[in-house]
Structure 1
């Protein structure tokens, strides 16, 4: 059940890069449900069109690669021309795969850096003069790998750490006109990312046991966090990385089960 009133974002303009699936699509849907005019962007035109139809309420489908600054700028201008300057911009396009550093090509490493880190910079830099100021909210979707090193994730760890520091720098440079924050989701059910990182039942269970809240998160819970960060309730929040992860960043809670004799 949401804590936010209906119509909270009535008439406001929201742009979600990577908004054609998973967490980002869930965020786009939530803003649309609250009355926002929403534009979603992805690399695949059919997938973008399907996502916009799924969102409904006049959502706009746009196609561009976040690694291409010119294409991103053109998409942002198109969305702004239709929906007006942006009150909220979410950058969530990401790439990931499991591989040891010695089993990863330089191009594989660069691809994730380009999509995650450079893509986030491109979206935020390209949208700056198209924002409603003061008051616009920028949100980057980051991950726990930014803080906690994980084997087989050197590319994602480097990219997400860069995003976290970018958030902080932009918050300093662009305040007070614009607020810049990040959301760091934990394991979220029904997402492509978790399907890749925990592809079988044993890995599924291992993730579950390590989480203090003993469950996976839901896409709607990340969407609610995005709404909060873009609402007047967060008017004094900028440069913050909001962990929405069931306590995952705190460490391995399964050790407590052993000490209590529960495992």
Structure 2
């Protein structure tokens, strides 16, 4: 999968993603990440890419032309019109399901705004998705873009050492992940649950599901409501027991 990030801070993107799982995936050729510097596509000799907003107001606005030219460069490079995700608190909330939606793409462009945002006209021309990572304001779109790339990358076949991991982690099927344990068996008086030491895979699976359900109900009632709505039969049987 190819990720292209349109940004004013390419080093921030590449330095952050060259580590850990995404870094290894890049080295293995499983994903390609390229940060495109929007400043390289301005005609201003001082590399300015922003100007004062029409109508007045605080701050500066990123100009349409450099952003559009950077996008056109990628379209020419790949030979096709690309899906563009704009990082903005005005977009739909990024979730694991949205990550799964993005993961089917061969190419994904993430557009990072800065200052007071980007000229609306270029957004209307190139943006296909508006996405937010939460109801708060950041300095720019780089951190959200990195979070999205990290999340989506994990769904690309071969990126995780154990491909089953992506299917059983938090938020899969609207449930949080069950508690995890490793050696030693006892730590400061706390023991690993006996069921995990039993070797009985069916009982372990049932225990993990029960833990996921109870943890989600306690910590994320909003997610639990979705789970219950999608699994009414399962929950009814569980209550009968």
Structure 2 length-normalised TM: 0.31
* Structure-1-length-normalised TM-score: 0.29
The structure that has the greater radius of gyration is: 2
